[in-house]
Amino acid sequence: MPRSCRDCLPMMPTELSAVLPARHIQEECGVFGVYAPETTDVAPLAYYALYALQHRGQESAGIAVNDDGVFTAYRDVGLVNEVFPAERLRSLGTGTIAVGHVRYGTTGSDNKRNVQPILVNHYKGRMALAHNGNLTNAAELRESFELDGAIFRTTSDSEVIAYAITRERLGAKSIEEAVSRAMDKVKGAYSLAVMSPRKLIAVRDPIGFRPLCIGEIEGGWVVASESCALDAIGAKFLRDVEPGEIVTISDKGLVSDRSHCGHATAECVFEFIYFARPDSVIDGSSVHVARQRAGAFLALEHPVQADIVIGVPDSGLDAALGYARQSGIPYGMGFIKNKYIGRTFISPTQAMRENEVNIKLNPIRSVVDGKRVVLI
């Protein structure tokens, strides 16, 4: 049977609440990694990829570059272009492997301290980790690690994952084996880009909550939260990382470990509704098409008599177009968006989101005045 929009949006909010307990706004970030042994200029690749992923996080940005095992990193709060002006990007130097991260904060978060990628010094080698997601057993693991002598510098779930991997490296033959062992302990949503002195590792949780894909560039590979980041750097999309898969990229090429695959999967519905860019493809489904089909289903399930269909820019526009086409009601541009205002949902506080939306959107009165309006 052909995939329907319901196939693209497999879990409704009530179903998600049974899986992820409501602690705070769930973490949604952008991660990127590049392994390119035939070039030494990976920092600009990470920069442009993070720029393409900026919609996934506007609070902080960071890049770590690996030059033959020597790590150089910079992380700070702000947008990608604010954190990395030209001179600072050049200060990262040369290298053949890099990981990057953009983040939006949650209520009460320590913004500066929780900026990623997380860097770890260990006698078996350094590690840099970029994480998108939330763990459901983070508090339990953190308490267990602290009682065993661990000292945490951040309040994020990401450091719990980093510590779990580092702890498993003591008895593991390789970092990818340590990652696999850590996956037996951490539960919840996580897509990871992990950099060791010689390898780049991409990891997706067994449920597949958060997206992660693999691309190919000349002489190397990249991993990213969304395929739009691959387009931004001229990489060819290869495939999505499978739920539960560990992909290790090194001088041996691309090696896949599927020992954690095979579980029931469930994507985050908000990726298709809001977070992902419409030009991205997630798990074989075009975000643009999925939103249009969602609007079409809405028109079938809730038909109304109206004069015009409008959408809230930007993520609501595709759904509004789908509703209009299915219903036969004319589509119109009812809002003008201030292009200098970023995403308001991912501002840290409700007060900030309300203030920003007041200057972000303004109705075009001549389009909607005196009309029966369907607002998507």
Task: List the catalytic residues.
Answer: 29
Count of other CB atoms within 10 angstroms of residue 261? 16
**Cβ within 8 Å of residue 352, ≥6 positions away:** 344
Binning the chain into helix, strand and coil, the percentages to the nearest 5 are 30, 25, 45
Q: What is the Cα–Cα distance from 155 to 103, expressed in whole angstroms? A: 14
Q: What is the Cα–Cα distance from 180 to 260, expressed in whole angstroms? A: 8
CA-derived radius of gyration, the chain: 21
Q: What is the DSSP letter of 29?
A: -
Q: What is the Cα–Cα distance from 276 to 278, expressed in whole angstroms? A: 6
Helix (H, G, I), strand (E, B) or coil at 33: strand
**DSSP β-bridge partners for residue 103:** 60
**Cβ within 8 Å of residue 51, ≥6 positions away:** 80, 81, 232
Sign (positive or negative) of CA dihedral 360, 361, 364, 365:
negative
Instruction: Quickly tell me which residue has 């409704």 as its tokens.
Output: 12
Closest CA to 209 of 257, 278, 137, 265: 265
Count of other CB atoms within 10 angstroms of residue 140? 13
